[in-house]
Amino acid sequence: MAEKKVTRIGVMCSGGDSPGMNAGIRAVVRTALYHGIEVYGIVRGYSGMIEDDIYQMQSRSVANIIQIGGTILKTARSKEFFTKEGREKAYSNLKKRGIDGLVILGGDGSFRGAQTFSNEFDIPCIGLPGTIDKDIAGTDFTIGFDTAVNTAVQAIDKIRDTAESHDRLFIIEVMGRDAGYIALHSGIATGAENILIPEKKTDIDNLIASLQEKEKRKKLVNLIIVAEGEKGGADYIDKIIKEKIPGLDTRVCILGHIQRGGSPTCFDRLIASRMGYHAVECLMEGRFNVFVGIVNNRINYIPLNEAVKKKQRINEEWMKIVKILSS
């Protein structure tokens, strides 16, 4: 625990946006103001910090935003922040306003930047896991995942209707460049026959054999859910299937960025609010340079330097469930 007292907090979003970020911002602002701490919004993340795009926030600044997707503070990725000169500019802009604590909503890349910045300039940082990928170790949930996976489920359910009508195989690509959680959860929830994720090497021969076996059983409606990080994505899988089983009627559907948008679910609003509240409590208590997670419904604090080294691993039980339920 540090003894340094934080009196002015900067809050920002970095990296990809996720539904529920606004609920997190709202919780940070109102918790801080409740305790008499000034709050400044940093627009476009580290880029806005460097460009001095910073303004003071009041309670009304976050009125009527909890139900809105995306982030009112906007977000960006900053190449300049990777340089010492860029970080010096950012620090100078914080210092002139007396900002002595930061809350960053983002993923592991955002946390890595926060850790470096804090080490160089002694600015306490608290991370809130805002990413639809759910790929940060140390928390059961990330802000935005529940909304994204529910969006994917709703879309896949609609696709199944047309697949049923035409006896087609649909290969549906969901987001997840490095993590397969959206594919895994949405695939199980929609009864997909195969789920392909970057964490597990795809056995193409086994996939083809499975489809051929189902074709013999006259199971003509099949869904394959593919995470975008899977080698070649849905288009590559479709090409191989067409080569191996020429008579199979296939279609590719890439869901894309609809998974990032939309009004956050109740669950995402709740965890974002809870995490935002605890982020301010951390700064007040002197618990610095951690990210706020939730494990077994309890708040869990993980040092930022540990968070950036670990990835959330896929539980093998999920893969067994997929295999059994899709047979």
Q: Which residues are catalytic?
A: 133
SS3 assignment for the chain: CCCCCCCEEEEEECCCCCCCHHHHHHHHHHHHHHCCCEEEEECCHHHHHHCCCEEEECHHHHCCCCCCCCCCCCCCCCCHHHCHHHHHHHHHHHHCCCCCEEEEEECHHHHHHHHHHHHHHCCCEEEEEECCCCCECCCCCCECHHHHHHHHHHHHHHHHHHHHHHCCEEEEEECCCCCCHHHHHHHHHCCCCEEECCCCCCCHHHHHHHHHHHHHCCCCCEEEEEECCCCCHHHHHHHHHHHHCCCCCEEEEECHHHHCCCCCCHHHHHHHHHHHHHHHHHHHHCCCCEEEEEECCEEEEEEHHHHCCCECCCCHHHHHHHHHHCC
